[in-house]
A and B are shown apart, each in its own frame.
Chain A
Amino acid sequence: GDSVTQTEGPVTLSEGTSLTVNCSYETKQYPTLFWYVQYPGEGPQLLFKVPKANEKGSNRGFEATYNKEATSFHLQKASVQESDSAVYYCALSDQGSGTYQRFGTGTKLQVVP
């Protein structure tokens, strides 16, 4: 079946440093890939999604490229801020899984001043 594997947290970074959260996936279909972000006390919300292979998604300085050959969708940001502290989830959905999305285990990011 489908699966999503991402960097185990927690990850602690200083403000201004760069972030990479690794995400790898397995599926036999042609997925849409998602990054969601969850702030304390809130539900997850979409950061961005990419429906097509070899395309890049971005939002709020975060970006990820849908790499079909490597089956990866790593999240990157050049310079993190304290306000980026949150849990980040990689997810996929495809026609094989019906209409639901399969999530990774989440990566908790803490950015310190």
Chain B
Amino acid sequence: AQKVTQAQTEISVVEKEDVTLDCVYETRDTTYYLFWYKQPPSGELVFLIRRNSFDEQNEISGRYSWNFQKSTSSFNFTITASQVVDSAVYFCALSEAGAGNNRKLIWGLGTSLAVNP
């Protein structure tokens, strides 16, 4: 069965600190996608990244970076020099790959990040 674990329920940091959000997944599929979404207080889900299981390169986008390690089934997300606007709930999710439209997303429980001034 597929599963996504975000062990950190809540994290609180002071502005400008670096913070890493952990995500560990389980799947028997050899081909899959991993996602990170941000959900600010408004509720709208903001897409951050999608990673194919065959692409283990780390990615950096501004202050955001992702570390994908298939050996440990982890897809961790780091925010460098955090800002108050980063305060939100962050979800990690997993889906099977393939052309089928009915591929569900398996969600982690989310990590609530509070960045304090």
On whether the two chains bind one another, the answer is no
